[in-house]
Amino acid sequence: MDIKKDLEELKNRALEQLKDVDDDQGLEKWRVFYLGKKSPLNQVLRGLASLPIEERRLVGAMSNDLKLLFESNVEQKRLSLYSSAVTTLQEKGRLDVTLPGRPVAQGRLHPTTRIVRQICDIFSAMGFQVVEGPEVETDYYNFEALNIPKDHPARDMWDTFWIDRKDENGERTTLLRTHTSPMQIRVMEKTTPPIRVVVPGKVYRYEATDATHESMFYQVEGLAVDKGVTFGDLKGCLYEFARRLFGPERKARFRCDYFPFVEPGVEMAIDCFVCAGKGCRLCSNTGWIEILGAGMVHPDVLRHVNYDPDVYTGFAFGMGVERIPILRYGIEDIRLFYGNDLRFLRQF
């Protein structure tokens, strides 16, 4: 059997058949027949082991050259078919190559991510460092060190996702953090004052979801500790934050509120940016919109981290991130932020 002659005949037959191919389907059939696993060319390559070594080298080289030739001709034929199809469409008036291409949609940051970054940038400009902490926390950091001991009624303020992990006494000790405040303790344990940090991150609450509640949402926590920090520093810092985020004409109001880890505690509200304080649907006709809770760090919290409350004082604040775009854009359902509905997300 003359393998070299068979290869030459195979080449001529294949190239002759390729000339008659006139569509993509026919080209694919030709490619599978002459370049597939069961092609005559592959059968020749499998039989090389039975040939004398000198003939094996010659036939092997010829086979590889023929394979490259087939592959090259397939690509040329594919380009030729494409060019012919374009020309046909142009002649029939179905394709205008001078028209601009279809626009490609560009991805953008999620509205929550944008607000988180904007908040962090504002506080960074005021000298705060951005830090992050674990989402799986211990009871100690999430509650006890923040002046919320076991059986304290204030624990009812945070519906908790507990993790099925218990100590030697059979008590659950691990949970999904209910607020970003545990990082207050973690930062103070490892840092000597002065401290100025903001902590963005996800928090979790075991509660039914509705238009104003979600089981997972974002918070930004802030903490400042040093000698001589006063409530006036807290008010000045938060007032400047509100002006930078909501506009320089904003007014701020502070009213007493209760949080176990601060004393005194306050809620901060700004005058409604829709009605300018006159009263509307967004502000429930009060003229004010609550945006965050804050207060002076409780002395017991400072003692937990071995800070002397007679020497150091500090303030802390926390806000729900989704609340800000809800207020700014008049969004009526917090669940829209996590529904992955492109109709909603494209608006931002």
- In the DSSP assignment, the letter for residue 106 is P
Q: Which residues, 6 or more positions from 149, have their beta carbon under 8 angstroms from its beta carbon? A: 143
Count other Cβ atoms within 10 Å, centred on residue 210. 10
219 belongs to the catalytic site: yes
At 288 the three-state DSSP class reads strand
Beta carbons within 8 Å of 315's beta carbon, 6+ residues apart: 223, 224, 229, 231, 233, 234, 237, 262, 294, 295, 296, 297
CA pair distance 234, 31, nearest whole angstrom? 75
DSSP three-state, residue 129: strand
- How far is 266 from 273, CA to CA, in rounded Å? 21
The catalytically annotated residue of 59, 187, 219, 304 is 219
Rounded Cα distance, 180 and 63, in Å? 68
Q: CA geometry: angle at 178 spanning 157 and 209, to 5°?
A: 75
Phi/psi of residue 314, each to 5°?
-165, 170
Q: How far is CA 86 from the centre of its chain?
A: 42
Give catalytic status of residue 262 as yes or no.
Answer: yes
Tell me, what amino acid is at 140?
A: Y
Give the pair of three-digit tokens for residue 297: 């760090």
Q: Residue 253: in which H helix or E strand, if any?
A: strand 252-257
Annotated catalytic residue, options 179, 196, 298, 323: 179
The rounded distance, in Å, linking the Cα atoms of 198 and 319 is 11
Contact 70, 35 (CB under 8 A): yes
Single out the catalytic residue among 31, 177, 196, 205: 205
Determine which one of 31, 158, 197, 203 is catalytic.
Answer: 158
179 is an active site residue = yes
* Residue in this structure with the two tokens 């999430």, named with its chain if needed: 142
How far apart are alpha carbons 146 and 140 in whole angstroms?
Answer: 8
Q: Which residue is catalytic, options 14, 145, 316, 321?
A: 316
Taking the C-alpha atoms of residue 219 and residue 115, their distance in angstroms, rounded to an integer, is 11
Active-site residue, selected from the candidate residues 225, 229, 262, 321: 262
Question: Which residues are marked as active site?
Answer: 158, 179, 205, 219, 262, 316
